[in-house]
Chains A and B, each alone.
Chain A
Amino acid sequence: MRISKNLIFKIIVLIILLFLPWTFSSQNKATEYPIINTETVPFYQSNLCEISLYKFLEINKVVEFDIKLDTPAEIKCFGKINGGDTISQKNTIYLGTNINIDALLQSGFWLILLTFIPKSKNVNIKFKNLIALSLSFLVYFHLLNEIGFYSFYSKTFFVNISESFTIYSLSLTVFIFLRVFLEIIESRYNNLIYFFPFSFLIVGTFNSLNLNFYLLVVSSIGIIGIFKNKSFKYSSIIYIFLVIIWISLIETNFEFFDVDKVKGFISSAYSMETIIFWSLIYLLFVFGVINLINDSLNNFNIEKLKNSFLYSGSLIILFSYLSTLGPIYNFYTYYYLGLNKTAIKTTQSVAGNAWRGISSSAETVGEFYTFVIIFTILINFFISQKKLTNIEIILLVINFYGLYKSNNFSAFISGLLVLIISVIFLKINNQKTKRILSLFAILLLPIGLYIFANNTIFKESARNMIKTGLEISLLEDLSENQYGKNAIEQNRFLEILENESNQDNISSSLKFLVNKYHYSDRNYIPNITSTISTVATTINRTEKWGIFFGKYDPNLTSLLFGTGVSHLANYYYSHPTTVNQGLVLPHSSFLSYLLFFGIFGVTAFIIFYIKLILKNRNNIPFLLISLFVVINLTKNDSILYVNSFFLLIFVINFYKFKTLKEI
């Protein structure tokens, strides 16, 4: 096999980007540095910014330590040891990173990886400079308005140009990398879609920016789409009205919201400016994905996409294990894969027996593995109609192993349901029997739920959620009876609701649910409160949804239209409860979108999807993967991650691919 000079050059550049930034020491003091232990930690605390990470590793070959990042370090301290500490009896070093260098290094690394995508027919992209320039202005606007987040990540983050150039350097970096991106994809455009499953491996979140690589590059494709797609223009007009409503609903600005593991796709503040930025970038991203799919419809090879899914899932497992080998591997996967959260450091499962590996959520990655499995099987059974190859079987087994480690039971059950229905469709020839059996399989879930909920043993499940909601509310006068039980524990919810001192402390959504529970003829299913609560109990969401309703305090307009896409700060802070620390997500993509788009938006989405499904009712692969995705959207926040959102848009548009046979 001949290896081209170009390939060797790219590999050399990748190696340089991987190792060189972490090898520069300030002075030749390395030999004087002691091996890190509890006694020498103070030495590391007082000798900052001198030795590089690799010098440190050379000195500390045999000792155990942990690496934490000192993200606000100055440029000269990038890649150097910038502090030390003993945390939970473990010696920890702080490795200096810098916002400017992070943006340059990470985007450069990912762009080089993009050049490995095989070339396709050349596509002429017009206005490349204009597209890159407009997005860099948008990023500049974003940087200006999320000062709270960026001040935390950089010591030199000042809006005034006389004080610091950081903000301007970052905008220029974005311009350059987007311009280079557009140049790279011109010759690879038609092959891009095959590589999107790798966004679950290379997540693309910048270390110290509240931005994601894919969000920016796909948005640039979105701008290309606006020029040629009329429906994009019309939907933008409706969207503008929605943005105006969101802006009009702002009562208090919030300068800082800790985005934690949803960094890169959720605003770290709440203001008119952040609503404008996130609404725009969200829309451009959606347009970008749709445009990419539309442009890839001709000559689309579904086998290539299937292989990408299989390899991506397997590589996630590989890199997850690699991350457990030591702190340096853990740091490398975090930094160069652009993870939202550092990978898990052990191969042992933790809370809830789930193992998330490099993913920031065990549930999301479990869903992904299941998707890979059902997608592969569906493609092989329904489209290619051929047996799995040995390599495919090995890769499938690895993905099965990933699913087992992630311990995502609901993804497993929903995946199994999809596979059962697909077997029904493959093995049974009679159309009527096919439909009846499939309907029965689908209805098993709600029927089971109904029986479960109305069983006297489980009646408690009907009120569990409102109990949790009330428990986190800041309630007064919760006196206890002679057995030490308060009004919540005694299920005296209406009494709590009617207590005047509690009026402002109970959220409007919780008040609604409690009222519905008490003033209905029937306390059990189909009572709305009991239904939601029982579903929550069955899928282990009682606590999370209880917290959600305890905090969700909309007025009529925000209930109808939401408070803005990618904004959680208003929901999180405007109604104080006992849960105001740490990131507690709604744990349902539908609930998250209820916050963003309100009932109007969620209903519009459901109607749109139902219509799409009815229109394509003979397209079984499309129906089955849609069923799987919708079930999992109910109980997971995955839509708050860029890659899962990309996958959702892909699934919604999956019917467009001509290679799908109607069965």
Chain B
Amino acid sequence: MNKNIVKICGESDIIPDFEKIGNDPNFVFRVDPDYVKNTLYDLEGNSIIVNSWLECANYVNGGWISDIIETNLIDTYLFYGLLSISFSILIFDIFKKFKTV
């Protein structure tokens, strides 16, 4: 199962059959009153509100993501960017030292 499903939709005992859902054009997702509504986005910036864990899992499986993932992605890129700069500084200094020795 896509690891983002748990991150975005939360934990659930349901074992989703995405193939079956995808092949059934008449499949209707039932609203789960206990499920906290979640907004998902696709790569083009379109948004959708999902009303149940199964609906959420289905969309996430199809490549939709939430704000959390998007934020985490930028956060991750920034971190690795800064880490690379820091290492570059350290490596540059080591090379400089070797050059002067």
Contact = CB atoms under 8 A, between A and B. Distances in A.
Interface of A: 26-27, 74-76, 100, 128-129, 155-156, 164-166, 168-169, 172-173, 175-176, 179
Do most interface residues of chain B lie in helix, strand or loop, or is the interface mixed?
Answer: helix
Max chain A Cβ within 10 angstroms of own Cβ: one of B76, B78, B83, B90 = B78
A166 B75 contact: yes
A129 B79 contact: no
Residue of B67, B70, B82 ringed by the most chain A CB atoms within 10 A: B82
A169 B93 contact: no
A74 B71 contact: yes
Given A74-B71, A129-B89, A169-B75, A176 B45 contact: no
A183 to B, nearest CB: 9
B86 A75 contact: no
B13 to A, nearest CB: 23
Contact of A165 (B45, B79, B90, B93): B79
A156 B70 CA distance: 12
Interface string B44-79: 010000000000000000000001001110111011
B85 interface: yes
A75 B89 contact: no
24 contacts: A27-B45, A74-B67, A74-B71, A75-B71, A75-B75, A75-B78, A76-B70, A76-B71, A76-B74, A129-B89, A156-B71, A156-B75, A164-B75, A165-B75, A165-B76, A166-B75, A168-B79, A169-B78, A169-B79, A172-B82, A172-B85, A172-B86, A176-B86, A176-B89
Nearest to A26: B45
Most buried by B among A76, A166, A168, A169: A169
Contacts of B74: 74-76
B79 to A, nearest CB: 4
Nearest to A76: B74
Interface of B: 45, 67, 70-72, 74-76, 78-79, 82-83, 85-86, 89-90, 93
A334 B86 CA distance: 29
B66 to A, nearest CB: 12
A76 B89 CA distance: 27
A173 B75 CA distance: 13
B75 A175 contact: no
Q: Give 3 nearest A-B pairs by CB, closest first.
A: A165-B79, A172-B82, A75-B74
A72 B71 CA distance: 12
Contacts of B78: 75, 100, 165, 169
Contacts of A179: 89
Contacts of A155: 71
A655 to B, nearest CB: 39
Nearest to A136: B86
A446 to B, nearest CB: 57
Contacts of A129: 89-90, 93
Contacts of A76: 70-71, 74
A230 B67 CA distance: 54
Nearest to B90: A129
Nearest to B80: A165
A172 B72 CA distance: 17
A155 B75 CA distance: 12
Most chain A beta-carbon neighbours within 10 Å: one of B70, B71, B72, B93: B71
Contacts of A172: 79, 82-83, 85-86
Contacts of B93: 128-129
Contacts of B72: 156, 164
Given A164-B75, A165-B78, A169-B82, 13 more contacts: A26-B45, A75-B71, A75-B74, A75-B75, A75-B78, A76-B70, A76-B71, A129-B90, A169-B75, A172-B79, A176-B82, A176-B85, A176-B86
B93 to A, nearest CB: 6
Contacts of B76: 165
B35 to A, nearest CB: 22
A173 B93 CA distance: 18
B8 to A, nearest CB: 14
A50 B71 CA distance: 15
B83 to A, nearest CB: 6
A155 B70 CA distance: 13
A92 to B, nearest CB: 24
A166 B76 CA distance: 9
A428 B71 CA distance: 72
Given A75-B74, A164-B72, A173 B45 contact: no
Contacts of B83: 172
Contacts of A100: 75, 78
A495 B8 CA distance: 64
Contacts of B67: 74
Most B Cβ at <10 Å: residue of A27, A74, A128? A74
B95 to A, nearest CB: 13
Contacts of B45: 26-27
B78 to A, nearest CB: 5
Given A27-B45, A100-B78, A169-B79, A175 B71 contact: no
A72 B87 CA distance: 29
B82 A173 contact: yes
Nearest to A170: B82
B70 to A, nearest CB: 7
Nearest to A164: B75
Contacts of A173: 82
Nearest to B82: A172
A129 B85 CA distance: 13
Contacts of B89: 129, 176, 179
B19 to A, nearest CB: 31
A156 B76 CA distance: 12
Contacts of B71: 74-76, 155-156
Nearest to B76: A165
Contacts of A164: 72, 75
A634 to B, nearest CB: 45
Contacts of A75: 71, 74-75, 78
Nearest to A166: B75
Contacts of A168: 79
Contacts of A176: 82, 85-86, 89
Contacts of A74: 67, 70-71, 74
A43 B53 CA distance: 30
Nearest to B67: A74
A75 B67 CA distance: 11
Contacts of B85: 172, 176
